[in-house]
Copies of this chain bind each other. A is one copy, B any other.
Amino acid sequence: MRSVRHAQRFIFFLVFPAVNLDWLISSGLIMAERENDGAAAKRPKTDAGELSSDSPVSDFKITRILRECAREKNIFIHGKVKDQDAVVILEKAPIRKDTLSELLKSSQLQLEMKNDVYSTYQLQAPAHLNEIKTTVICPATEKHVKKYLHQEVFLVEESGEDYRTVTLPYISSQSFSVQWVHNILEKKAEADRIVFEDPDPLTGFVLLPDFKWDKKQIQDLYLIAIVHRRDVKSLRDLTSEHLPLLTNLRSKGEDTIQRQYGVPPSKLRVYFHYQPSYHHLHVHFTSLEYNAPGCGVERAHLLSDVIQNLQADSSYYHNRSLAFPLRADDGLLLKFKEAGKL
Which residues of A pack against B, CB within 8 Å? 14-17, 28, 30, 33, 36-37, 40, 45, 47-52, 55-58, 60, 62, 65, 68, 70-75, 77, 88, 90, 92-95, 97, 100-101, 103-105, 107-128, 130-140, 152-157, 265-269, 271, 288-289, 291, 295-302, 304-305, 308, 312-313, 320-321, 323, 325, 342
Contact = CB atoms under 8 A, between A and B. Distances in A.
Instruction: Determine how many copies of this chain the complex contains.
Output: 2
25 contacts: A15-B118, A28-B71, A37-B113, A48-B112, A49-B112, A52-B108, A70-B94, A73-B73, A73-B92, A77-B100, A117-B139, A119-B136, A121-B136, A122-B132, A123-B131, A123-B132, A125-B127, A130-B132, A153-B289, A155-B268, A155-B288, A156-B266, A298-B302, A304-B323, A305-B323
Contact of A113 (B33, B100, B342): B33
Interface of A is mostly: mixed
Contact of A155 (B75, B154, B157, B266): B266
Contacts of A119: 56, 135-136, 138
Contacts of A138: 117, 119
Contact of A135 (B50, B94, B120): B120
Contacts of A52: 108-111, 121
B154 A267 contact: yes
A94 B73 contact: yes
A260 B51 CA distance: 52
Contacts of A288: 153-155, 298, 325
Contacts of A132: 95, 107, 122-125, 130
A71 to B, nearest CB: 6
A95 B325 CA distance: 28
Given A65-B97, A70-B94, 18 more contacts: A15-B116, A16-B115, A47-B114, A49-B111, A50-B111, A72-B72, A93-B122, A117-B137, A117-B140, A120-B133, A120-B136, A124-B131, A125-B130, A130-B132, A155-B269, A155-B288, A297-B301, A305-B320
A15 B113 CA distance: 12
Contacts of A312: 313
A125 B55 CA distance: 13
Contacts of A113: 16, 33, 36-37, 40, 45, 48
Contacts of A100: 62, 75, 77
Contacts of A50: 110-111
Contact of A104 (B60, B103, B107, B112): B60
A127 B108 contact: yes
Nearest to A70: B94
A17 B230 CA distance: 54
A93 to B, nearest CB: 7
A57 B107 contact: yes
Given A33-B113, A118-B15, A122-B131, A73 B58 contact: no
Nearest to A126: B127
Contacts of A92: 73, 92, 95, 130
Contacts of A47: 111, 114
Contacts of A126: 127
Contacts of A289: 152-153
